[in-house]
Chains A and B, each alone.
Chain A
Amino acid sequence: MELTRDEESALKGEQGETMQMAYRILVATGEATDAEKLIPIEWAHLSGVNYNTIGDAGEELLSSVSKDARVTVKTTLNPMGFDIDNVSNYKLDENFISKQLSIKNSYETMGVIPSFSCIPYEIFDIPKNGTQVAFAESNAAIHANSYDNLKTNKESAFSALASAIVGKSPYSSLRKEDTPNITIRMKVKNPNELTYGMLGFYAGKLGDTSVNISGLGEMDQRQSKAMCGGMGTSGTCAKFIFGEGDSNTEKIDFDEKEMQNVHDELNTAEKGDLITLGSPQLGLDEISDLTAKLKGRSFQKRCMVFLPRTVKEQAQKIGYITELERAGCEILADCCTCLTPLISKDDVDAVTTNSIKGAFYLKNSNGVDVNLKSLKQIVEDETR
């Protein structure tokens, strides 16, 4: 990898220890991915926020780095473990809360925007076409590449943080060009968001860095997010290119049979003890739609609704939150179904959700069973 004189100097430590570490991470990442150089980025989105995933090692690292590290580009942040407004309603110990607040504090000290959201593409303005960014959250990286005309690799928590500090990323893989060797043909009729989530999950298993995808009809935001979330869960792939691809690509059908296989892999329960909506977190359109669907109805069991704080505030002003709470929803800002510490297998056997990403982590990380249903079905079955 070619470095400029200034970059060489930073790597040697002539611009301080923090810069040196950040450059070490970018160079190691760049060499591992065969990058030729570093290029400027305009926006970094960081993962590695939830104490449930990064633990003491992560908390200590951030506490130490934040003493002198400052981000130099717009930097946003993934969800953390809880919503401080209602954390006392959940069984989280003091240690968890204080370590999580320390992580929050470290990021804020570094100048990161405390967005605590996995849908930065929905709550921030999108830069102009072709802008290089560094997104560590997988669904956000896939959405940015596929729908927002931005360019990013599927960054790690560390490469994104280093990019935020340095303002550059290794120029490799999806940042350059991409020609998928696989085309997935959507063959399932009458798809809902669950179908698209499973399609994404299937595509993520087959694709290396990107896939062509054809046969998609008109999709709403919920369905697009579900597809990105599904893909981010199952592999390293980080981009959908919409179309058939050329004649050299291998064509693979996603049909009822393949969909059933994905369903059987992730659906392990006939019913759930509680419901979660949001992984990725719900945006304002989805909250508006959910409010409409719940008009005059109430959940018969707990239903956790995850959303970014900015969306919660907007929804509050419009009156959606009052209405959702009336219908029995627990409204949770700043956190998400994915890797939540708020659901424990000690008191929950199974969770009903319409999220493939949520299902994967509930099963593999929380160790609870999952009952998959579309939102429409959830409202039909679980409310009165």
Chain B
Amino acid sequence: MNKILVSGKVEGIVLKSNDPINFLGTVDKKTGIISDKKHPLFGKAIKDIILVFPSGVGSSVGAYTIYSIKSNNAAPLAMICKKADLTVATGCALANIPLITISDEEFLSIKNGIKMSLDTDSSTLSVHQ
């Protein structure tokens, strides 16, 4: 774990994208389903999972989208990125979604579909066997 941007404690299944996510226009704010056909996670729901992706991209208005997704109960349990961008950082802060950054090696080691737990108080991110 590199940085803790928004703290919290969660446990859940990983949904991983190797491509960045532009929350404005890529994610349906009502359902939390990735609606951009060009995105590798197209059709997948980000609700109640641990969303792992390199970083956010695009307009800062995307932060409002993250807040909306949370208000619609369709938000991820937590987000884990390689790089902290201000849109995702402020969006998660608004919506109170735990957000951390990790190293390239840690990012590589996280596989889609595994179960993980995150606790920012003790700075632990671990895989359930």
Residues of chain A at the chain B interface (Cβ within 8 Å)? 21, 24-25, 27-29, 31-33, 53-58, 60-61, 156-159
B65 at the interface (CB under 8 A from A): yes
Contact A28–B93 (Cβ < 8 Å):
yes
Contacting residue for A31 out of B67, B89, B96, CB 8 A: B89
B73 → chain A, closest Cβ, in Å? Answer: 14
B72 → chain A, closest Cβ, in Å? Answer: 10
By beta carbon, the residue of chain A nearest B83 is: A32
Contact A32–B84 (Cβ < 8 Å):
yes
A27-B5, A31-B3, A157-B63 are known; give 16 further A-B pairs, CB within 8 A.
A21-B93, A24-B96, A27-B93, A28-B84, A29-B86, A29-B90, A31-B4, A31-B5, A31-B89, A32-B5, A32-B84, A54-B61, A56-B68, A61-B67, A156-B63, A158-B63
Residues of chain B at the chain A interface (Cβ within 8 Å)? 3-6, 29, 60-61, 63-65, 67-68, 71, 84-87, 89-90, 92-94, 96, 99
Task: Show 20 A/B contacts (Cβ-Cβ < 8 Å), sorted by A.
Answer: A21-B94, A21-B96, A24-B6, A24-B93, A28-B6, A28-B89, A29-B90, A31-B4, A31-B89, A32-B84, A32-B86, A54-B61, A55-B61, A57-B29, A57-B68, A156-B63, A156-B87, A156-B90, A158-B90, A158-B93
B31 → chain A, closest Cβ, in Å? Answer: 14
Contact A54–B96 (Cβ < 8 Å):
no
C-alpha gap A156/B84 in the complex (Å) = 14
C-alpha gap A157/B93 in the complex (Å) = 13
B57 → chain A, closest Cβ, in Å? Answer: 13
CB-defined contacts of A32 to chain B, threshold 8 Å: 3, 5, 84-86, 89
Contact B5–A28 (Cβ < 8 Å):
yes
B91 → chain A, closest Cβ, in Å? Answer: 8
By beta carbon, the residue of chain A nearest B87 is: A156
CB-defined contacts of A31 to chain B, threshold 8 Å: 3-5, 84, 89
CB-defined contacts of B84 to chain A, threshold 8 Å: 28, 31-32
Given contacts A55-B64, A156-B63, A28 and B71 within 8 Å (CB-CB): no
Contact A28–B64 (Cβ < 8 Å):
no
By beta carbon, the residue of chain B nearest A33 is: B86
By beta carbon, the residue of chain B nearest A22 is: B93
Contact A57–B65 (Cβ < 8 Å):
yes
CB-defined contacts of A158 to chain B, threshold 8 Å: 60, 63, 90, 93-94
C-alpha gap A190/B87 in the complex (Å) = 40
C-alpha gap A158/B86 in the complex (Å) = 10
Contact A159–B90 (Cβ < 8 Å):
yes
Give 7 nearest A-B pairs by CB, closest first. A32-B84, A28-B93, A57-B68, A57-B64, A158-B90, A28-B89, A24-B93
Contact A58–B94 (Cβ < 8 Å):
no
Given contacts A27-B5, A32-B86, A53 and B93 within 8 Å (CB-CB): no
